[in-house]
Homo-oligomer: A and B are copies of this chain.
Amino acid sequence: MKLHGYFRSSASYRVRIALNLKGLVADQSFHHLRKGEQRSPEFLKLNPQGLVPAFITDNGDVLTQSLAIIEYLDETHPEPPLLPRDALTRAKARAFAQVIACDIHPVQNLKVLNGLRKLGADDAAVNKWAADLNFEGLAACEALVAGGTSRFLFGDAPGLAEICLIPQMHNARRFGADVSGFTRLLSVEAECAKLPAFISAAPDRQPDAE
C-alpha cells in the first residue's frame, strides 16, 4: 500500500494516524501543495480532485477522501477498531469527525484561502476567516462531547474522532484560534500526545517537513 500525501495536509495526517493505529506500514509519496504538485497530470490520474491524500491498495486500486480511506482500513484490518461498536455511538463518532472533515477543514484549506485572496481579502482577513472557522467548529465539537469522562472521546481507545481532532487542533493553533476553553478536547488531545501512533504521524516528523 502507498499513501500519497503532504506533511502539512490535515487529511493526509489523518490517514497517517490511522495507519499507525492499525500497525500498518505504507510507502509514502509526498506532493508539495504550495508548489501545485497535486495538480500535475500524473497526480490528477490518481485523484481528479487534485487533492491529497490518495491511497493505493495492495491490489493497486486507488482510493481518495481521507474518511473513506480510513473506514476502508478499518473494514479490511478490523483490529483495533477505529469506530465504537454500537450504532448510536458510532454515529456520534462519525458526526464528530464530519464536523471537522466537512465543516471546518475544507472551508479553511489552502485552495479556499487562495480563493479568498482572489476576491480581494488581505492576509489579516484570510487569517481571521480560518481562525474563526476553527474556533466555531471546535466549539461545536466541544459541545458535542462536553461532560464526557472516558479517556478518549467515545471510549477507552482513540479512533476516527481523535484522528480528525488532532490535526485540526494543530491547524487551529497555526491560525491563532484560542482553543484554551475546550477542556474536553484538550484532555483527549493530551492523551493522544502520549501515543506513538499520533506522535510519529505529526507533520514535523515527515520526511518532506520544512
Contact = CB atoms under 8 A, between A and B. Distances in A.
Stoichiometry, as copies per complex, reads 2
Interface SS of chain A:
helix
- Interface size on A, as a range, is 35 or more
Interface string A112-143: 10011001110001000100000001011001
A91 B72 contact: yes
A79 interface: no
A106 B100 CA distance: 11
Contacts of A64: 95, 99, 144
Which of A64, A91, A112, A140 gathers most chain B CB within 10 Å?
A91
Given A65-B95, A75-B87, A75-B90, 6 more contacts: A49-B137, A49-B140, A72-B91, A101-B102, A106-B107, A107-B107
